[in-house]
Amino acid sequence: MAKKVLLIEDEPNIIEAIKFILSREGWDVQAHSDGATALDAIARTKPDALVLDVMLPNRSGFEILRDLRAEPDTHGLPVLMLTAKGQKRDRELAESYGVTHFMTKPFSNQEVLERLRELTG
């Protein structure tokens, strides 16, 4: 059975690129682009892993991550966080909220694929 990944990202070109590389490798990829309704999308989708952007409309990826880690159903969900903001402070904040892996944009398609394989292996 294909592993399911939910991509919470608001940039269409990044959504298409990640969907393409993961789908080609057999992943079931779904996307969501609004931070305010991201937790509902996660609950509905029940993904094996989450790719989460930091800067989203209506709610930040940091807030979403913090709420995921506070809930028993999503506490252990592997989260690959993507951001254009690669400052040390952002990485430290993500780690304090329990991110599984933190990656800055631009990233290589192969790197995203390898990290997700590791996170769900």
Q: What are phi and psi of 9, to 5 degrees?
A: -155, 145
**Alpha-helical regions (H) of 4-100:** 12-24, 38-45, 61-70, 88-97
Mean per-residue pLDDT for 2-19?
Answer: 95
Express as a percent the part of the chain with pLDDT over 70.
99
DSSP 3-state assignment of 61? helix
pTM of the model: 0.95
Confidence of residue 18 (pLDDT cuts 50, 70, 90): very high
DSSP 3-state assignment of 81? strand
Task: Judge if the upstream peptide bond of residue 72 is cis by omega within 30 degrees of 0.
Answer: no
Show the domain range for 100. Answer: 4-120
Q: Give pLDDT, residue 32.
A: 98
Domain count for the chain, please give it.
1
CATH number of the domain that residue 20 is part of: 3.40.50.2300
Neighbour order of strands in the sheet with 101-104:
28-32, 4-8, 49-53, 79-83, 101-104
Residue 23 has pLDDT above 80, yes or no: yes
In tens, the pLDDT along 36-79 reads 999 999 999 999 999 999 999 999 999 999 999 999 999 999 99
Q: What are phi and psi of 6, to 5 degrees?
A: -105, 125
Closest Cα to residue 76, out of 94, 57, 49, 104? 49
Confidence of residue 109 (pLDDT cuts 50, 70, 90): confident
